[in-house]
Amino acid sequence: MSGERILLDSVILIDHFNGVAKASAYLKETAGRAHVSAITRAEVLTGFADEDLPLARALLDTFPLVVIDREVADLGATLRRNHRWKLPDALQVAAARCHGLLLASRNTKDFPPDEFDFVRVPYTL
């Protein structure tokens, strides 16, 4: 997993901000290879009080941002129909696939790694 470019699912960053050492270690390990999507950015920022937003934004700003463009949106719609995923999950996968990234997530319920070879589960709790 050392050279793989990845898209961080929201839960990884939320775990980091909640003090989960495994998440923080993973972020350090993937520095320079990890990206966040507009979905992840919005989901993470939603959990912060106004006075704490600068701290969250400072970390999020260190990652390249993967945007939701027409190609991602169209693939996201197809994935949502085919897998019955929630729209944010479908857009996360679409963003990863369209940009040649793997998806790092603990969400093995929706993204079982034995079924989806683009999913990496960096740690468990």
The model's pTM: 0.93
How far apart CA 92 and CA 107 sit, in angstroms, is 12
Residue 90: inside a domain: yes
In the chain, the number of structural domains is 1
Residue 23: inside a domain: yes
Residue 38: inside a domain: yes
pLDDT recorded at residue 68? 95
Domain hosting 36: range is: 6-120
**pLDDT > 70 in the chain, percent:** 98
Give the pLDDT confidence of 38-59 residue by residue, as tens digits.
999 999 999 999 999 999 999 9
Task: Output the domain CATH number for residue 67.
Answer: 3.40.50.1010
Residue 116: inside a domain: yes
Residue 1: inside a domain: no
Mean pLDDT of 107-123: 93
Residue 108: inside a domain: yes
Instruction: Band the pLDDT of 2: cuts 50, 70, 90.
Output: low
Residue 60: inside a domain: yes
Whether residue 45 contacts residue 51, with contact meaning beta carbons closer than 8 Å, is answered with no
How far apart CA 95 and CA 89 sit, in angstroms, is 10
Give the pLDDT confidence of 76-91 residue by residue, as tens digits.
999 999 999 999 999 9
